[in-house]
A and B are shown apart, each in its own frame.
Chain A
Amino acid sequence: MNPSAVTAPTGSGGGGRLSFSRSSQDTLQIAFTGGWKITESLPSLSDVQRELESGSPVRSISFDTTGLTAWDSAYLTFLLQIIEESTQKQIQVSQDGLPEGVRRLLDLATAVPERKGAAKQEKHTPFMERLGTTSVRLWNSNLEVFEFLGETTVAFLKLLVGRARFRPRDLWVTIQECGLEALPIVSLISALVGLIFAFVGAIQLKMFGAQIYVASLVGIAMTRIMGAVMTGIIMAGRTGASFAAQIGTMQANEEIDALKTLGISPMEFLVLPRMLSLMLMMPLLGLYSDFMGILGGMLIGVTVLDLNPMDYYNKTIEAVTLTHIWVGLFHSAVFGVIVSLAGCLRGMQCERSAAAVGNATTSAVVTSIVSIVVATSIITVVCQILDI
């Protein structure tokens, strides 16, 4: 009999039902009736467990399936659970009463051999061992970062002596991608940031009748730090993530291996043009962001605070010194290195699967943003100490 012949339609409707009877003192007969299918509501194993524990001890179990109208894997799973339970309690199970299809499937299901080492064993690891493993992992990941830094430096040195090999076209394409194409989003965010600064400052400064100083506030904040930081964060989410995804996909697609076997260094061919273009574009984008931020601030100054645009302009020129711009540019340059390094590093570390590419992208963005914030703090403290 094949399973389909047994799987008759559930004419009676409703789910599967169980009933118990004792054919002798120590033999429990379990009768299955109704449709035992995944979509039906089914009795739970605890009914059987309760029956096994009540009354006189059971030595064997038999099945009656004359009332069974339909079955599928749900029934099979229930049977497997009963067999497992019985094996533990050393109760004999007779499969004679089961439909032939069920018996055959049970045989198949229980015939799957265990692959050695295939099942992952859950193991309780002591605290010290976990601490040790984590430390070693952290140390190794640090080593990887240093190794990557070293390889990047070598690639840059090769570039300086004109021996780095990459397609110049790739450089131009990446410059376009992370320069020109980033302008709209940088414009929007920077203008809004400038606008917010002007608003927040205006409320405080208005109390002293010193609205005009909004120009200095926005000008200095944007040029010194905020322009660079905002651009850095935008580029981390936009370009850093894209670097990691591009290189990660190439890793998953064996393209990096192919490059290596073609005798081409992926560091020179993939990483170098990307780093170079972002390092060139980031300061420019930072400057552009400063400008947009000041424009946003001016919009608020002129419309909300009724300041004269010329006054606003003059005050900005007066407040923003070259030093502020240099500090801002320095920030941008550092962020350019950070974002491109993080993107390329995570991409190169990517494993060979689609999920790993996703992880690489996330990791690139997180690494970039954390590093940007840390770097900003360090630069700010150093500038404070040096009185810049």
Chain B
Amino acid sequence: MSSHNMIEIRGLDSHYKGRQVLFNIGFAIPHKKVTVIMGRSGCGKTTLLRHLIGLKPSESGRVFVEGQDMGSFDEKGMANYRRRIGVLFQSGALFNSLTVSQNIAVPLKVHTRLSDETIRIMSLIKLHLVGLADFLDYMPSQLSGGMRKRAGLARALAMDPEILFVDEPSSGLDPITAAGLDDLILELRETLGMTIIVVTHELESAVKIADQMVVMDRGNLLAVGTPDEIRSSQDETVLRFLRREAEEQQVNTESYLSRLLGRQYKAGENSTRRQGGVR
């Protein structure tokens, strides 16, 4: 395994409620680069993210962090890994019963023995970073969607993580706020040299921030490469995704009608079956 890779995924399958949602995913996430995992809604991006942040256990030998098998992490190993990562969830996932500054202080209070004053200053620094220094004592419910996400980012950055995971940074935000968040992500890579993994379905934002793009479709890996490589790809599905075309799907009028008005078909089948059952 090459040493410039932070995380390497090999042959990862995943199931959700008996349904397979990821099929043989394999790619590497380089050090200190922004990797964007992209695909349509429901293609398995978030499931993949959950595997990478250790919320969904993967089988042994599937996900490697700097060469170490994540499946073999014991409780302590996982705790160490989690101390190295920061996660910004789709909704921000702020603790609703705590103020913004208390939210950011939670990881610091739990993991460090810093004094309250130091923690306060550190929280303020993180809030400055995301432009929310004036909202220190606000409750999450008093913040707008964009602010909540930025506060979530500040909390994710509280412990100065080496790896930052961002789930759908632009979902539910207006284009200007979303662009602001993209700039922030780029700035974090520049100034703090973080390895950043972003999951998104926004093509524009992906091309803007990505050093490496990973395109997924229905649980399969379509393409991995720099934005330029992806753009020059010859793969029909990738091109279609880039052109934002809806997929051509076979139209079957008859089956649609029977689904819509299928009482005759189904009622007929059911009644015969029921009769059979009684007999």
Q: Which residues of A contact B (CB under 8 A)?
A: 80-81, 83-85, 87-88, 109-114, 117, 119, 122, 124, 165, 167, 249-250, 253-255, 257-258, 260-264, 269
Contact = CB atoms under 8 A, between A and B. Distances in A.
Contacts of A110: 251, 253, 256-257
B110 interface: yes
Nearest to A88: B264
B2 to A, nearest CB: 27
B261 A263 contact: no
B87 A261 contact: yes
Interface of B: 19, 53-55, 79, 82-83, 85-87, 89-91, 93-96, 106-107, 109-111, 152, 155, 159, 249-261, 264, 266, 273, 277
Contact of A114 (B54, B107, B255): B255
B106 A262 contact: yes
B101 to A, nearest CB: 14
A260 B55 contact: yes
Contact of B82 (A114, A165, A261): A261
A262 B107 contact: yes
6 contacts: A80-B260, A109-B260, A114-B252, A249-B96, A253-B96, A254-B91
Given A88-B264, A260-B82, A113 B93 contact: no
Contacts of B152: 258
Contact of B257 (A83, A249, A254): A83
A258 B250 contact: no
Contact of B55 (A124, A167, A255, A261): A261
Contacts of A81: 261
Contacts of B251: 110-111, 113
B261 A84 contact: yes
Nearest to B98: A167
A263 B96 contact: no
Contacts, number: 92
Instruction: Give the interface centre of B250, B252, B261 by most chain A CB atoms within 10 Å.
Output: B261
Given A111-B251, A124-B273, A165-B110, A254 B259 contact: no
B91 A113 contact: no
B105 to A, nearest CB: 10
Contacts of B94: 255, 258
Contacts of B256: 109-114
Contacts of B257: 80, 83-84, 87, 110
Nearest to A106: B253
A243 B209 CA distance: 42
B276 to A, nearest CB: 10
Contacts of A113: 249-252, 256
Contacts of A83: 257
B53 A261 contact: yes
Contacts of A250: 95-96
Given A114-B252, A257-B55, A167 B109 contact: yes
Contacts of A88: 264
Contacts of A80: 257, 260-261
Nearest to B19: A117
Contacts of A258: 87, 89, 93-95, 152, 155
Given A87-B254, A253-B91, A263 B55 contact: no
A84 B85 CA distance: 57
B93 A254 contact: yes
Given A110-B253, A165-B110, A261-B82, 7 more contacts: A112-B256, A113-B256, A249-B96, A253-B93, A261-B87, A263-B111, A264-B107
A254 B89 contact: yes
Contacts of A124: 273, 277
Contacts of A109: 256, 260
Nearest to B79: A263
Which interface residue of B19, B106, B109, B155 has the most chain A CB atoms within 10 A? Answer: B106
A84 B264 contact: yes
